[in-house]
Amino acid sequence: MKTFDSLYIDGRWVASHGKGTIDADHAATEEAITRIPEGDEADVDAAVAAARAAFEGWADTPAPARADALRRISTELAARADAIAMVIATEVGMPLKLARRVQTDGPVANWAAYAKVTESFEFEKRVGSSLVLREPIGVVGCITPWNFPLNQITLKVAPAIGAGCTVVLKPSEVAPSVAFILAEAIHAAGLPAGVFNLVTGYGPVVGEALARHADVDMISFTGSTRAGRRVGEVASQTIKRVALELGGKSASVVLDDADLTAAVKGTIGNCFLNSGQACIAQTRMLVPVTRFDEAKAIARQVAESFTVGDPLGEGAKLGPLVSATQRDRVVGLIDRAVEEGAELVTGGSDAPFVNGQQRGYFVRPTVFATTDPKSTIAQEEVFGPVLTILPYADEAEAVRIANDTPYGLGGGVWGEEEHAIRVARRIRTGQIDINGGPYNPRAPFGGYKQSGNGRESGVYGFEEFLEYKSLQLKPVAKLPPEAAAIPG
C-alpha cells in the first residue's frame, strides 16, 4: 500500500492535526492500495492562514513570473506522467492507455496553456475616464472530484494561481494520489510557500470548513448537485464567490437527417467514457420514433463491443467503477429501470466476469429503451455505463425532452450541420457537441440550471478568479451632466 502520511501546507510537508487515515481502493481488485491523512478543521485553518499570508506577495508578482511558475509545474508533471496515469487507472478504473491520453497528457498541457493565458491577459483597460482593473479575488478553496482527478484540479488550481490567487486544495478521498503527485511537482517547481496548500479528508469536515472559512474569498467546487447545494449554503454565510460544476443528464439528439450509425456510435462512446463516470456524459439518446427500433439494434451491437476488463491489461475498452458505493448505486438504478418497465436492450445488473472472476467494481455496458421521459432512468444521473434511448415524434418534442430535466451541462445534436446548430440553440445547456465535435479546452465549460454556475477552461475559467475594480480618473474634457450622475 502506498501511504501519504503528510499534508502540504506553507511550502512544507507537515503532519495532520487529524489522527485518522483514509484508504482508497484498487478499482479492479477491491484491495486498499492508498492511505492518506484524514485532515480536520485545524488543518484547514493552518492551510488558509498560509494562503492568506502568501496572497499579497503572490498577487504582486508580475504576470510573466507567475506564467513561468505554471510552465515549471507543467514540466514537473510531464516528468511524472507515467505515475499519474497508473494511479488514475488503478484508483479510478480508466484503462491505462486512455488514462494517459485523456486524464494525464491533456491536463499537463493545460498548465502550460494557462501560462500563455496569464502572460497575455489584459489586467487593466482604459474605459472612458475610468481605468478598469482585474485583480485576483484572494484565497481560493478548491474542492475536486474523483472521476477526472488531475483535470478537475488543473481547471481550478492552474488559472487561480495564474490569476494571482493562493489556493487550498481539498481533493476527493476516493482517488487522492494525483493531488499528492501534484504537490510534489509544485514543490519541485519552486512555487513560493503558501501559494498552494493541500489538505485531504472528508467533505463534511474539510470541505465544509473551507466553504465556511471567513478568510476564504472563493470556493470552486466540482461534484454532485446535492453536495453543491450544501457548499453553496455554507459558503453563503460569508458572502464569498462560489463557482459550481455539478451533475448532468445530457441528451444526444439525433435528427432525421443524421447518419444514424455514426450518431449511435458517437453517443455511446461519449456515454461510456471513463465507464460513464463523467458529469457531461450523454446518457439520453433521443431518436425519431420511426427509427427507434433501428437505433436500438445498432446500440446493442455497439455497446456489446465495449470489452469490460482489467484497466492495466490489453484490450479493455471499459474498466471498473471507482468504488463499491458507486457500483452499488449504478446497479440499483439498473434494477429500478427494469422494475419501472424500461426495455433492457443489453447489459443489466449481473456482475461481469473479468479474468474469470466476479471481482472488482465492474458494471456491464447497459442500454435501455423507454417511451417515458419522466422515468427514473431518463431523469436521474447514473454515473455509470448506462444509456437510455427515447423516441420523439417531432423536433419540438425532441427539444422539450432534452430540456425536461433539472440539469443543463452537456449534450449533442446530430444532423446536417446548420440544422443541428439551429436545434442546439434551443437546448438549455452549457456545451453541445455538433456531430461529435471534440472537446475544446479553450472554450468555456459549465452548466445551466442545477448543473451549476460559473465557467471553467480557457480564458473564461481564468476570469472566474478575478475581481473588477474601477479607478475613476479626472476626465480631460468636461463630461455632459448625465455622465456625472452618481448611481444609487
Measured distance CA(49)–CA(217) in Å, rounded: 12
Buried-state track 368-380, b at ≥16 Cβ within 10 A, e below 16: bbbeebebbbbbb
With residue 253 as reference, give the H or E element that holds it: strand 250-254
The reply to whether 184 belongs to the active site is no
| Secondary structure of 461-472 as H, E, C letters | HHHCCEEEEEEE
Task: Using DSSP, state whether 14 is helix, strand or coil.
Answer: strand
Q: DSSP character for 90?
A: H
Measured distance CA(457)–CA(431) in Å, rounded: 12
Of 282, 287, 280, the closest CA to residue 268 belongs to: 282
- C-beta atoms surrounding 111 within 10 Å: 28
**Which residue of the set 38, 41, 76, 245 is catalytic?**
245
The reply to whether 279 belongs to the active site is yes
422 exposed, middle or buried (CB, 10 Å; 0-12, 13-18, 19+)? middle
Hunting for cell 492535526 — which residue is that?
A: 17
- DSSP assignment of 181-231 equals HHHHHHHHHTPPTTSEEE----IIIIIHHHHH-TT--EEEEES-HHHHHHH
Measured distance CA(258)–CA(294) in Å, rounded: 13
Buried-state track 21-57, b at ≥16 Cβ within 10 A, e below 16: ebebbbbbeeeebbbbbbbbbebbebbbbbbbebbee
**Which residue of the set 142, 165, 271, 279 is catalytic?**
279
Measured distance CA(358)–CA(29) in Å, rounded: 10
With residue 112 as reference, give the H or E element that holds it: helix 106-120
The backbone torsions φ and ψ at residue 433, rounded to the nearest 5 degrees and listed phi first, read: -85, 125
Measured distance CA(38)–CA(359) in Å, rounded: 28
Instruction: Dig out the grid coordinates for 323 from the structure.
Output: 468504488
Q: Is the sign of the CA dihedral 192, 194, 195, 201 positive or negative?
A: positive
Q: Point out the residues that are catalytic.
A: 245, 279
